[in-house]
A and B are shown apart, each in its own frame.
Chain A
Amino acid sequence: MTAPKSLARNLARRVAGLPDLAAPAPENPPIPANVIAAAEDALARGETHYTDRPGIPEFRAWVAAHLLDRWGVRIDPSEVTITCGSTEARYVTMTLLAEPGGAVLCPGDSSRIEGALQLLGARVVDSVNDDVRLLYITPAVYRETALELLRRAEETDWWIVWDLSFARLDDFHPAQNEALAKRVVTINSLSDRLAGWRLGWMAGSEAALRLRAGKQAITICTTAVSQWAGLELARSGDA
C-alpha cells in the first residue's frame, strides 16, 4: 500500500539531501554484567514510567560532575538533558540554535549534522561568513584551526556545539574560555559502549532550558531503563 500520487510527489522532494539508510550497523560490544544488573534492578523497582523530561537527576548530576572533573567546566545539573543518543542531541541543538536560511560553520566532518540542517533549511559552510549562526566542532578538528575559530567566536554571538561523540578526548574544552562558556553546548553519547540503548546528552549554555523543551517536544523523555543502565556504566568509569 502506497500513498496517492498527489501525496507521493512531495515525498521525494522532502528527503532530497538526506542520507540514505545504508549505514553499516554499529559495533555491539558486550554489556558489562553490572550494567545489566542495574537495568534489571531499575525495572524491578518499577522504573518503567516517564522520567523527568530532562532525564533522571542522578545521571544529570553525573554529567555535570564529569564536565567539572574532566575539563574544569562548571555547569548546573539543570542545564543537562539526557537524549536518545547523540543523534537527538545534534538534531535539537542544530534546529534550535541555527536558523532557517542560516549557516553552520563546520571545519571538519559535517556528515552527522547535514541531515538535521537539511530539515531545518540551513546549510553547512567551511569558512566564516555573515550567515554563520553556530560553530560545530569536535576534538577531531585540528587544534590550531579550532582555536582560531574560537577566537573568532569571541567577536560574534555564535553558538558553539562541542561534539565529543566518536572523537578522541583530551584536556581541551571550549567552555574553559569564560567568554564563550555561556554559548557552548557539549554533546556526547554512550553508544560506543551501549549500542542500541539510545543514550546521549547535551549540556550547558544559556539555551539549556530551550534545548530541554525541544527534546521534550519530540520524544518527551529518554528511555528510563537506558538511563539507569547508562548511569551505572558512567559511575563505573566506562562512559
Chain B
Amino acid sequence: MYTEEMLESIKLVEAARAENAAMEPRRMTAEEKDTLLKTYHPDYRTDQFDTITVGPNKGEVAPKELVQLLQSDSIIKDNLPDLSSPDYETDVLIIGGGGAGASAAIEADNAGAKVMIVTKLRIGDANTMMAEGGIQAADKPNDSPAQHFLDAYGGGHFAADKELVYKLVTEAPDCIQWLNELGVEFDKDENGNMVTTHGGGTSRKRMHAAKDYSGAEIMRTLRDEVLNREIPVVDFTSAIELILDDKGHCAGAVLQNMETGEILIAKAKVVIIATGGAGRMHYQGFPTSNHYGATADGLVLAYRVGAPLLYQDTLQYHPTGAAFPEQIFGALVTEKVRSLGAKLVNVNGEVFMHPLETRDVAAASIIRECKRGNMVKTPEGQGVWLDTPMIELKNGEGTIEKRIPAMLRMFGKYGIDIRKQPIVVYPTLHYQNGGVKVGTDSQTCIENLFVSGEAAGGVHGRNRLMGNSLLDVIVFGRNAGKHAAAKAKDVVVGKLTLDHVAKFEKELTDAGITPETTSPILLPDYARKVNG
C-alpha cells in the first residue's frame, strides 16, 4: 500500500521505535506554544478571514466561508410562507438529532413538555456518532472538578465563560452516571472502576471511553431512548429559518423536506438549536472529520434573528486526520491512539513533540514539522507518522484490537495493519470552538431561543480539549432541555412573524451587500458538475 519512499522512511521509524517509545518528550513552555500558534496555526492566517459587516457581530472577523453564509439571502426571502396554519405545534422544538438534541429531548420529555425533533438527515447522523476517543469527567479520587476546570479553562487559552466551564465540569460525573443508567457501556475493570486515559492537555487521566466507538455508543443509546419515549422525530427535514412572534420571541421554525422540498411550519413555545458544527464548510480548504451535514446551519438561523456569536473566528483542526490512503483522507484518527502511547514521528524517525499537547498546539506543531521539510510525502500530499505499533510495544499484544477496533478496521480496509505499520496523519478540520452566545441556562439573548452542543459558543474558549465535546453535548443538551421545558410552561406565543427576514435583508442592502447565495446550505455539494 505504501509507496517505496514511504517504506524507506518506515525503516527509520522502526529502527528508532524502541528508543522513541521509551522517551518522555519535553512539553512546550507557554511562550513556545504562543509563538508556535501564531506562526503556524490556521486561525492566525489573517488572509483567510473576513470582517462581518452586518448583524450583532459587525466589525468582528470570521472565516471567509462563514461570513459569506451569514451574509447570504434567506432561502424564503422572495416567497415567505403562510404562517397562519402551522403543520406542527409543540412546546419544545429541537432542531438537530445529534447528541445535544437527543439529550435535550429526553430531559424536556422527562419534564413533561411536548417535544419534537427535526433533523435534516436521520436521528444520530451527527458528529456525536463519530466521536471516537472519549468523554471527560473528574470522577477519580486523584481528580476533582476544580482540576478539570483548570485544564479546560487553560486549554481554551483563558477565554472561556467561567460559569459555563463550571457547569461543564461539575455536572460531568452526573452525566456519566446518567448515561450509564441509560445503559451506555463504558470501559471498566472487573471492579467497576472506569478505565481512563489522558487526552491532550489533561492533567489527570479522566477520559472515559467505550473502546473507540465512544460517541457511537452514546448516540445509539440516546437515540434508542428517544424512540422508546416515542418522541416525534421528523427526519430528512431541515430548519431553514426561525419564526419569531410579535414580541420578538422565538416561536418556531420554517422547515423544508430535504427530498421533496415541501415547506412546513412548526410553531413552538421554545426552540432549541442543536445543529452541531461546520466541518463541511472546509474552511481554508481543509478536509474534515465531520459528518455530512455539518454546515453551520444553526449559526445562520440564530444570527438572522439577532443572536450574537462568540469566538466564531476559532476553529479546531484535529492534529491527526488520516493523510493516507486517499480514500480516508481527512478522516479522524482518534486522539486515543496517542493516549495509548503512540507518538508523532517525522520522516527521519525523530519524535518532534510531546504527543499530548493540546490540539491546537499539536496541529500547529505538525504543520511546522512539515514546513521544516521533515514531512512524509504521500501521493496526494503530506503528513507525519503516527507510530501506532508503539501501542502494543508498551501495552502488549491485543491492545489495539481491544481498545481501538475502529481504527484497526478503518486502515485494515485499505491493507494497512496499524499494529505493524505506522500511519500518516495531518490536521483535519474538526470542531468549531465558538458558536452562538448563550447563558448558563443555554438561552440566547433572543427570548425562548436556546442553543446547545457544538452550535453554542463560550464553554471551550478558543480551543477545546479532547473529551470535552461529548461532555458538552450531554451536559448542555440536558441543560437546554430542562430549562426549555420549564420556560415553555409560561409561554404564550404571540402572532407569528418572519419580519426579521426582510429586516436582515435591509441591513445587507444598507451595507452594500448583494448576496449571490442563500443560506443555510444544509449539505455540501460534492456532486461533480457534469455539464462543466
Q: Does A pair with B?
A: no
